[in-house]
């Protein structure tokens, strides 16, 4: 089966600890290039993961014929323009959550996707359901120990490393994993 060439736009923690390692596990995917507004971070990420090309300007990544899809893993306010530019360049798009920071920007992405209906655009959903705290909460809810629940506020962070996650706000007795 042909491998899909991916470009990673944004080389911060979520790209280095989640997207790139996960994509490397997908047989049908290959990471062709990375881009970050901080050139040294793009270069270090490329070296760390054995990616042959890197750019400080994501437009150069989008100009590559071997990049068929991109992961937008940049600061939230930049998601919309990068996603739209990617679709305009003929690339499939995966956007790290949240999709955008405004309804207006979300509408702009939807309109771009409609103009390029042969492309796929996807905003990643909440991806932390594998935390032990969620199993604990589900168990408590299923046993009826918490009563009826409509909304459960929780804060998570992956900034501490690939396998260490912190969960606070809902489970004070289970604060660190």
- 134: tokens are 């969620």
The pTM for the full model equals 0.73
Is the confidence at residue 47, as pLDDT, over 60? yes
- Give the model's pLDDT for residue 129: 57
Taking the C-alpha atoms of residue 130 and residue 43, their distance in angstroms, rounded to an integer, is 32
Is the confidence at residue 156, as pLDDT, over 90? no
Helix, coil or strand: residue 6: strand
Compute CA 125 distance to the chain's CA centroid, rounded to the nearest angstrom. Answer: 9
Segment 4-42, tens digit of pLDDT: 999 999 999 889 988 999 899 889 999 999 999 999 999
Please report which confidence band the pLDDT of residue 64 belongs to, taking 50, 70 and 90 as the band edges.
very high
| Greatest C-alpha distance within the chain | 56
Strands 29-35, 53-55: pairing is parallel
> Structural domains in the chain?
4-123 (3.40.50.720), 132-168 (no CATH)
Segments of the chain assigned E as strands = 4-9, 29-35, 53-55, 69-72, 92-95, 121-123, 155-157, 166-168
Mean pLDDT of the chain: 82
Q: Region 63-76: what's the mean pLDDT?
A: 95
Rounded alpha-carbon distances, angstroms, from residue 142 to 8, 130, 131, 138, 139: 40, 17, 17, 6, 5
Helix, coil or strand: residue 7: strand
Segment 104-150, tens digit of pLDDT: 999 999 999 999 988 888 876 555 556 676 677 778 878 887 776 66
Taking the C-alpha atoms of residue 48 and residue 55, their distance in angstroms, rounded to an integer, is 15
């Amino acid at each position: 089966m042909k491998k899909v060439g991916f470009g990673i736009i944004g080389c911060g923690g979520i790209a280095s600890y989640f997207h790139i390692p996960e994509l490397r596990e997908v047989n049908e995917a290959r990471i062709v290039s990375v881009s970050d507004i901080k050139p040294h971070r793009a270069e270090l990420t490329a070296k760390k993961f054995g990616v042959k090309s890197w750019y400080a300007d994501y437009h150069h990544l989008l100009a590559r014929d071997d990049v068929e899809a991109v992961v937008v893993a940049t600061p939230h306010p930049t998601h919309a323009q990068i996603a739209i530019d990617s679709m305009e360049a003929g690339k499939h798009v995966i956007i790290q959550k949240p999709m955008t920071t405004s309804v207006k920007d979300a509408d702009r992405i939807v309109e771009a996707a409609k103009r390029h209906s042969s492309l796929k655009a996807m905003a990643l959903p909440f991806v932390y359901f594998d935390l032990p705290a969620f199993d604990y909460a589900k168990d408590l809810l299923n046993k009826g120990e918490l009563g009826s629940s409509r909304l459960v506020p929780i804060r998570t962070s992956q900034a501490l490393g690939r396998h260490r996650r912190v969960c606070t706000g809902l489970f004070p007795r289970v604060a660190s994993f």
